[in-house]
């Protein structure tokens, strides 16, 4: 018998083999946006790259990402935005729209809303036109210190969205922004700041999308910081349909004040790899947050959503449902945590993740978690990973429905509970089209 | 006239032969009852005819309207006019009864004409409501997820509703009477009788005589050991109800190999 023992040493430091070689360009020196970016850049330099020894990165490897090859996205990276992406996704026409396409930005905002003090613009314009508001959101945001990619998003994110709703203002028409990119081997960084003052409401749809490229890897880093003031209501829809060459890292925080409410919807269809951190912080008494996630992977896609429902005040309610289907050799990870702080009595937390694995080579990991530091709370969670049931398929076929259609019907049925949670016809339609398109591969 | 013709059918599941040579002929307009104790292969026959992938046909034939049924895909068998009312219908979460039935109706139309745009929603709704009212089903039923959380009686009623909408020529009812209280049994039977009046052929699999009080069979067959061992008129079922199966066992089990 030969001794085949191998000594395995696990690298403690980093998953990445080649290091990032870019430095951000601080174009206007003394502006507050540049100052904020510089702070983030200093933090970036001190932070280590994520390591697969960290729980959050254990299932998502970034070893194949060639950081050293990345270039700053040039101004020539704009391309035609597909018409489908600029259509209103809710029943109403847009109250405002911002389209980012390479270095081009077009901004539209309903006159009436502007007169009411609503700010919906890009960060560059915000700096000159609304410096106080920008200062307020930038100073309150420390999300960039969360990890290397968060810092990268802030340091390189020389533009992004500022949405500000003043006290007592209700915005009926939805606001829409699209971050559209193109290019090969480029870095795209983006930031979104949303601030709803007391007793206000808005619906905001943000989409990240990119053109399919022939070669190279693109890095997308984004940061979103959302604050919902007391007694306010935000509908927040995020759609991600990045190209199959995009590596996507996002850090998102939504903080909800007393008796305020957020309805947060995620739709993830694209990217080669995504690692998303989404934190719901229920900071005010009686606040409520609902998180609904839809994802469908195929090919060699890898989507990893890491959610936190933090109950930090009494009488808070959270309700999370993420549903995903997987094809090809794709992989999904959902890792969720409900945290209930010591003072957060009478809270109600719920989380569920359901996965439908449609291919023998696909894999879904589902990791729910609870951390409860007080009594008198109600927290429930559930996670399932299942396959297409052959008896269900047989049943539908026995009614004359061809197999392909039977399977599609079952998959649509699987996603129905998520569709029921989406109050926007256009968003549902997009997801239905995605199911249709992806199921052709099945 | 449609005809289901089964000849010397031998079928196994997981390597074990359950049907040991079944012969049966059901014509449109006739009602045949198949009775027999548990484990004799009644449900196996039903599933095999519909094409469940778990069953392997070893030999024999089954033709329907002159076509070799065993060569057809499951959905093709359905569209040809065969129907199976399941003993245990599965639930399909997230798919409403109405959406499911409209998809099934449209699949039929599309098979006939690939250009078909599907049944108009108001027309379908009218059809559905009409059939549901015959089966004394509340209109809210259409919006419920298929079989999800249905009671035993609701599931069976939903099976008969599907049959009423798809209008098969030959229907196999696999223990449709089980789990029904007396009122539900009457309603379901009335539904079947209504279709019978439209010249449907029925193969009714049951343990008990009671459904046959409502749906009068033309022929009663006794199945034992994976084969049909005795056939007769409606009085054969009454005889079984009184005497049980022992006399059949004594008569056949010594001569015929038992499946167990």
The three state secondary structure string of A118-187 is CEEEEHHHHHHHCHHHHHHHHHHCCHHHCCHHHHHHHHHCCCEEEEEECCCCECCCCEEEEEEECCCCEE
Handedness of CA A389, A390, A395, A396 (dihedral sign): positive
Mean pLDDT of B86-99: 96
Is residue A159's pLDDT more than 60? yes
Give the CA distances from residue A46 to residues A39, A146, A147, in Å, rounded to whole numbers and listed in that order. 11, 12, 10
Angstrom distance (rounded) from CA A185 to CA A176: 27
Q: Which residue's structure tokens are 């935005």?
A: A81
Work out how many CB contacts closer than 8 A connect A with B.
Answer: 81
pLDDT at residue A215, as a whole number? 86
Domain boundaries in chain B? Answer: 3-252
Categorize the per-residue pLDDT at A423 as very low, low, confident or very high, splitting at 50, 70 and 90: confident
Own/partner long-range contacts of B123-126 (Cβ < 8 Å, ≥24 apart): B124/B98, B125/B98
Spell out the residues 6+ positions from residue A224 whose beta carbon is closer than 8 angstroms to its own. A143, A191, A192, A193, A194, A206, A238, A250, A251, A252, A253, A254
Angstrom distance (rounded) from CA A424 to CA A412: 17
pLDDT at residue B208, as a whole number? 83
Angstrom distance (rounded) from CA B132 to CA B199: 20
Pair B164, B117: CB distance under 8 Å:
no
pLDDT at residue B256, as a whole number? 52
Percent of chain B with pLDDT over 90: 73
Pair A52, A61: CB distance under 8 Å:
yes
DSSP notation for B165-218: HH--SEEEEESTTTT--HHHHHHHHHHHHHHHTTT-EEEEEES-SGGGGTS--S
Pair A285, A312: CB distance under 8 Å:
no
Q: Do A401 and B103 make contact, defined as CB atoms within 8 angstroms?
A: yes
Domain boundaries in chain A? Answer: 32-60+81-388
pLDDT of B186-212, one tens digit each?
888 988 888 887 789 999 999 888 889
pLDDT at residue B25, as a whole number? 96
Categorize the per-residue pLDDT at A28 as very low, low, confident or very high, splitting at 50, 70 and 90: low
Is residue B110's pLDDT more than 50? yes
User: Looking at the complex, does the CB of residue B69 fall below 8 Å from at least one CB of chain A?
Assistant: no
Judging contacts by C-beta atoms under 8 Å, the chain B residues touching residue A395 are 86, 89-90, 92
Question: For chain A, what's the residue count?
Answer: 442
Q: Do B92 and A396 make contact, defined as CB atoms within 8 angstroms?
A: yes
- List the helix and strand counts (H, then E) for chain A: 8, 20
Categorize the per-residue pLDDT at A35 as very low, low, confident or very high, splitting at 50, 70 and 90: very high
How far is C-alpha B62 from the chain's CA centre? 15
Q: Do A389 and B75 make contact, defined as CB atoms within 8 angstroms?
A: no
Q: Which residue's structure tokens are 């067959």?
A: B221
Tokens linked to B112? 């006939």
Angstrom distance (rounded) from CA B252 to CA B224: 8
Which segment of A71-80, B81-90, B232-241 scores lowest on mean pLDDT?
Answer: A71-80
End-to-end CA distance of chain A: 47
Q: Which of B49, B74, B95 to mutate to test the interface with A (most CBs of A within 10 A)?
A: B74
Angstrom distance (rounded) from CA A374 to CA A174: 39
pLDDT of A361-412, one tens digit each?
999 999 999 999 999 999 999 999 999 999 999 999 999 999 999 999 999 9
Is residue A13's pLDDT more than 80? no
Q: Which of A325, A392, A399, A416 to mutate to test the interface with B (most CBs of B within 10 A)?
A: A399
Q: Do A399 and B51 make contact, defined as CB atoms within 8 angstroms?
A: no
pLDDT at residue A267, as a whole number? 95
Is residue B255's pLDDT more than 60? no
Residues of chain A with a CB closer than 8 angstroms to some CB in chain B: 389-392, 394-403, 405-406, 409-410, 412-417
Instruction: Name the residue among A350, A293, A279 with its Cα closest to residue A316.
Output: A350
Handedness of CA A128, A131, A135, A136 (dihedral sign): negative
Judging contacts by C-beta atoms under 8 Å, the chain A residues touching residue B89 are 395
Residue A136's Cβ-count burial label (10 Å; 0-12, 13-18, 19+) is middle
**Mean pLDDT computed over every residue of chain A:** 91
Judging contacts by C-beta atoms under 8 Å, the chain B residues touching residue A394 are 50, 52-53, 74
| Nearest-Cα residue of chain B relative to residue A420 | B94
Is residue B184's pLDDT more than 90? no
pLDDT at residue A338, as a whole number? 97
Mean pLDDT of A160-168: 98
Most confident of A31-35, A85-89, A113-117: A113-117
pLDDT at residue A29, as a whole number? 63
Q: What angle do CA A147, A160, A81 make, to 5 degrees?
A: 115
Is residue B69's pLDDT more than 80? yes
Categorize the per-residue pLDDT at A2 as very low, low, confident or very high, splitting at 50, 70 and 90: very low
Spell out the residues 6+ positions from residue B179 whose beta carbon is closer than 8 angstroms to its own. B152, B153, B155, B156
Give the CA distances from residue A242 to residues A183, A204, A344, A424, B231, in Å, rounded to whole numbers and listed in that order. 12, 19, 38, 21, 67
pLDDT at residue A72, as a whole number? 85
SS3 call for A292: strand
Mean pLDDT of A343-354: 96
Handedness of CA B183, B184, B187, B189 (dihedral sign): negative
Pair B29, B216: CB distance under 8 Å:
no
Is residue A3's pLDDT more than 60? no
Angstrom distance (rounded) from CA B47 to CA A219: 53
Residue A406, min C-alpha distance to chain B (Å): 9
Is residue B260's pLDDT more than 50? no
Strand partners, B3: B27
pLDDT at residue A1, as a whole number? 40
Mean pLDDT of A239-267: 97
In what helix (H) or strand (E) does residue B247 lie, and over which residues does it extend? helix B246-252
User: Looking at the complex, does the CB of residue B249 fall below 8 Å from at least one CB of chain A?
Assistant: no
Percent of chain A with pLDDT over 70: 93
Enter the CATH code of domain B3-252.
3.40.50.300
Pair B161, B190: CB distance under 8 Å:
no
Q: Do A413 and B95 make contact, defined as CB atoms within 8 angstroms?
A: yes
Mean pLDDT of A193-212: 96
pLDDT of A265-287, one tens digit each?
999 999 999 999 999 999 999 99
Spell out the residues 6+ positions from residue A335 whose beta carbon is closer than 8 angstroms to its own. A56, A59, A304, A305, A306, A307, A365, A367, A369
Mean pLDDT of A50-75: 87
Nearest to B108 among A391, A400, A410 (CB): A400
pLDDT of B30-68, one tens digit each?
999 999 988 899 999 999 999 999 999 999 999 999 999
Pair A172, A143: CB distance under 8 Å:
no
SS3 call for B219: strand
SS3 call for B51: coil
pLDDT at residue B225, as a whole number? 92
- B122 or B254, which is more confident? B122
pLDDT at residue B187, as a whole number? 85
Categorize the per-residue pLDDT at A14 as very low, low, confident or very high, splitting at 50, 70 and 90: low
pLDDT at residue A92, as a whole number? 67
Mean pLDDT of A89-110: 87
């Amino acid at each position: 018998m030969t001794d085949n023992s191998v000594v395995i040493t696990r690298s403690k430091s980093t998953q990445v083999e080649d290091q990032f070689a870019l430095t951000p360009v601080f174009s206007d020196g003394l502006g507050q946006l540049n100052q904020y970016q510089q702070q983030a850049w200093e933090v970036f330099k001190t932070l280590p790259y994520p390591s697969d020894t960290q729980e959050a990165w254990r299932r998502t490897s970034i070893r194949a990402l060639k950081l050293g090859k990345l270039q700053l996205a040039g101004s020539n990276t704009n391309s035609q935005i597909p018409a489908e992406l600029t259509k209103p996704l809710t029943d109403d026409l847009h109250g405002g729209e911002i389209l980012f396409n390479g270095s081009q930005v077009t901004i539209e905002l309903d006159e009436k809303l502007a007169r009411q003090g609503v700010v919906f613009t890009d960060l560059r314009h915000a700096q000159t036109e609304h410096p106080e508001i920008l200062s307020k959101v930038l100073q309150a945001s420390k999300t960039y210190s969360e990890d290397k990619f968060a810092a990268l998003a802030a340091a390189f994110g020389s533009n992004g969205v500022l949405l500000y709703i003043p006290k007592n203002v209700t915005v009926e028409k939805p606001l829409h922004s699209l971050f559209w990119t193109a290019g090969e081997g480029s870095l795209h960084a983006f930031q979104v700041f949303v601030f709803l003052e007391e007793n206000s409401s808005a619906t905001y749809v943000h989409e990240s999308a990119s053109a399919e490229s022939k070669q190279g890897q693109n890095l997308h880093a984004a940061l979103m910081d959302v604050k919902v003031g007391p007694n306010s209501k935000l509908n927040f829809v995020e759609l991600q349909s990045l190209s199959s060459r995009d590596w996507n890292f996002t850090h998102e925080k939504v903080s909800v004040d007393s008796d305020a409410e957020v309805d947060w919807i995620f739709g993830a269809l694209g990217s080669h790899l995504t690692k998303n951190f989404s934190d719901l912080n229920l900071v005010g008494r009686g606040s409520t947050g609902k998180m609904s996630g839809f994802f469908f992977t195929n090919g060699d896609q890898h989507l990893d959503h890491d959610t936190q429902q933090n109950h930090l005040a009494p009488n808070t309610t959270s309700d999370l449902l993420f549903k995903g289907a997987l094809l090809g050799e794709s992989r999904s990870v959902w890792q969720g945590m409900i945290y209930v702080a010591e003072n957060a009595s009478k809270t109600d937390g719920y989380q569920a993740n359901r996965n439908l694995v449609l291919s023998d080579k696909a894999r879904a990991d589902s990791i729910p978690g609870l951390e409860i530091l007080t009594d008198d709370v109600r927290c429930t969670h559930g996670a399932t990973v299942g396959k297409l049931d052959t008896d269900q398929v047989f049943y539908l076929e026995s009614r004359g429905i061809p197999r392909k259609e039977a399977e599609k019907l079952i998959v649509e049925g699987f996603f129905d509970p998520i569709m029921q949670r989406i109050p926007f016809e256009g968003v549902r339609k997009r997801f239905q089209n995605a199911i249709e398109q992806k199921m052709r591969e099945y | 006239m449609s005809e289901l013709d089964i000849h010397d059918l031998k079928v196994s599941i997981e390597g074990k032969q359950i049907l040991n040579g079944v012969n049966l002929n059901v014509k449109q307009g006739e009602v045949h009852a198949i009775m027999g104790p548990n484990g004799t292969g009644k449900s196996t026959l039903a599933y095999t005819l519909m094409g469940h992938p778990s069953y392997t046909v070893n030999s024999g034939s089954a033709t329907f309207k002159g076509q070799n049924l065993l060569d057809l895909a499951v959905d093709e068998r359905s569209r040809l006019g065969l129907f199976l009312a399941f003993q245990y219908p599965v639930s399909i979460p997230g798919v409403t009864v109405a959406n499911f039935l409209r998809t099934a109706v449209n699949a039929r139309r599309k098979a006939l004409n690939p250009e078909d745009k599907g049944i108009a929603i108001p027309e379908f709704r009218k059809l559905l409501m009409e059939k549901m009212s015959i089966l004394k089903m509340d209109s809210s039923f259409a919006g419920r997820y298929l079989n999800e959380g249905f009671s035993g009686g609701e599931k069976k009623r939903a099976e008969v509703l599907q049959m009423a909408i798809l209008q098969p020529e030959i229907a196999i009812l696999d223990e449709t009477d089980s789990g029904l209280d007396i009122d539900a049994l009457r309603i379901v039977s009335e539904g079947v009788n209504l279709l019978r009046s439209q010249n449907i052929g029925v193969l009714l699999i049951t343990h008990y005589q009671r459904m046959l009080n409502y749906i009068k069979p033309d022929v009663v067959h006794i199945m034992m050991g994976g084969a049909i061992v005795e056939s007769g008129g409606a009085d054969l079922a009454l005889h079984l109800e009184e005497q049980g199966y022992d006399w059949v066992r004594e008569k056949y089990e010594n001569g015929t190999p038992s499946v167990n």
